[in-house]
A and B are shown apart, each in its own frame.
Chain A
Amino acid sequence: MRLSPIVIAETVCLISAVALVWKDKYAFWKVVTCYIAIALLTEQYAAYLSSRHQHNLWLFNIFLFFEISTILFGLYHCIKAYINPKPIFAIGGGIICLSYVIFLFKQPFSESNNLTISVMSVVYALYCLYYYYLLLKDENFIEIKNHPEFWWVTGVLFYYFGSTMANIFDGLFNVKIIGYATLRYCIYVLLNYILYSLWIYSFICRMKQRKLQS
């Protein structure tokens, strides 16, 4: 079993999260740390199943529950600093859940849930843009360079906005670029590196912020 680039990125991010934000008083940072740990375990177990030539898409479909709930919770946490986001999150969450239910009815659980992933990506990208809008509209300015929530949301935007095209055209192209790696895989490696780099930076910002506040 080889150590994939995504696993390396996740491991580094998990270590950073545990070291920098695990002791934070806000549940948000603990939830994010747990999510990264789950993502890492899922990735490792999926690699193990793959090495034994067994299907692993069902595992990613289970993991999707954690992904949907954690990112929704994270965005909720960031947006609630400006408005009461319950109604818009009820709508967005409802749409994602509906897409999951449609998938369950239409396709077997062992297949890739591209419908939910695509819907989720669009909804998350919209929430991120809405967060930016609220941030710009707010009368008080924030020092974005050191604002942990801003960089966390930016990571989410890069990942879900960047993966939109790869999700939509998934299955239509399987061009191999480097050895066994397909273009889709390369795009996901790049997106994961951007996501986890920005999240690590947001953890550093949060740690600095916490030190300043104490």
Chain B
Amino acid sequence: MQNETTKIAILVAISTLIFLLMPIFLLLYIRSYNRHKKNHVLEKQNMQQKFEAEMLQARVEVQDQTMQSIATELHDNVGQLLSLTTLTLNSVNLSDEVKAKKKIENSLQLVNKSIKELRELAKLLHGEQLVENGLGHAIDQEISWLSKSGAYELQVNNTLSESDYTSPDKDLIILRLLQEIINNMIKHAQATQIQIDAYLATNVLHLKVKENGVGFNPDEIKARKSGMGLNSIYKRIEMINGKLILNSAPGKGTSISIEIPYP
């Protein structure tokens, strides 16, 4: 009997020791897991800071680009109109009432056109206000501005206006991307037909732009790494974890397909 009791006592002593060792191992595991979690959180914070810094840089770049656009628009468009108005008004001869009336009317038309151009420019540049009403609406505005030029046959399929999702951080970047793509097309593509598709499918925003212009060799352009062109588009898409597929060849037009996790 005494032997039995001793056996039980040894069993209890060993079991208690094991029961005390288990929390120790548990503590070591928690410590190690917590350390990994700490590293993960710090890494996430670093990435967030990096992302914010890149966003800031992108905003500065966009602002630079915007300033250039303002300068170009003012110089090439509004400036010309106002110069013409000055010329017309300078040439007014008050003694010849009929001609003077006609010239003043012409000048008035030119001034009105200048005002209209300035309004269009303001609308185009004020992207943040545009995306406040949703990305779909902003893209519609952009396309409407493009269609007013009358130089392109447009095929548009934009279903984003019907979507309730928004992502304030990404919206402005996406809009600027589209503006950049359209600007590049206007400047270089010499296209006559443009097809634009924008839709949302399973939390991915798809933006496709296709035109029948002169096309180019993408590798050659990418290698140049110049200014606000293709490289800037790639960089901005990378920032919002997006994907860009570019198909182009000299004489065969260009198609750009962008996929971005959204919202």
Give residues in A with beta carbon < 8 Å to B. 129, 132, 135-136, 140-142, 144, 154, 157-158, 161-166, 169, 172-175, 183-184, 187, 194
Q: Do the beta carbons of B12 and A166 come within 8 Å of each other?
A: yes
A184 — which chain B residues lie within 8 A by C-beta? Answer: 12
A173 to B5, CA, bound (A): 5
Of the candidates B5, B8, B13, B31, the one whose C-beta lies within 8 Å of that of A144 is B31
Confirm or deny: B38 has a beta carbon within 8 angstroms of a beta carbon on chain A.
yes
Q: Do the beta carbons of B41 and A161 come within 8 Å of each other?
A: no
Confirm or deny: B34 has a beta carbon within 8 angstroms of a beta carbon on chain A.
yes
Give residues in B with beta carbon < 8 Å to A. 5-6, 8-9, 11-13, 15-16, 19-20, 22-23, 26-27, 30-31, 33-34, 37-38, 41
A136-B30, A141-B37, A142-B34 given as contacts; is B12 within 8 A of A158 (CB)?
no
A173 — which chain B residues lie within 8 A by C-beta? Answer: 5-6, 8-9, 12
In this complex, what residue of A is CB-closest to B41?
A: A141
Q: Do the beta carbons of A162 and B8 come within 8 Å of each other?
A: no
In this complex, what residue of A is CB-closest to B42?
A: A141
The B interface is mostly helix, strand or loop, or mixed, namely helix
A136 to B27, CA, bound (A): 12
Q: Do the beta carbons of A172 and B26 come within 8 Å of each other?
A: no
The A interface is mostly helix, strand or loop, or mixed, namely helix
A183 to B6, CA, bound (A): 10
A163 — which chain B residues lie within 8 A by C-beta? Answer: 16
A174 — which chain B residues lie within 8 A by C-beta? Answer: 5
Q: Do the beta carbons of B19 and A165 come within 8 Å of each other?
A: yes
Tell me how many residue pairs across A and B have CB atoms closer than 8 Å.
Answer: 62
Could you pull out 29 A-B pairs where Cβ atoms are within 8 angstroms?
Answer: A129-B26, A132-B26, A140-B41, A144-B34, A154-B23, A154-B27, A157-B26, A158-B23, A161-B19, A161-B20, A161-B23, A162-B16, A162-B19, A163-B16, A164-B19, A165-B16, A166-B12, A166-B16, A169-B11, A172-B5, A172-B8, A173-B8, A173-B12, A174-B5, A175-B9, A183-B12, A184-B12, A187-B13, A187-B16
A187 to B10, CA, bound (A): 12
A194 to B21, CA, bound (A): 12
Of the candidates A165, A172, A175, the one whose C-beta lies within 8 Å of that of B15 is A165
In this complex, what residue of A is CB-closest to B37?
A: A141
A165 to B12, CA, bound (A): 6
B13 — which chain A residues lie within 8 A by C-beta? Answer: 183, 187
From B12, B20, B31, residue with most partner A Cβ within 10 Å: B12
B23 — which chain A residues lie within 8 A by C-beta? Answer: 154, 157-158, 161-162
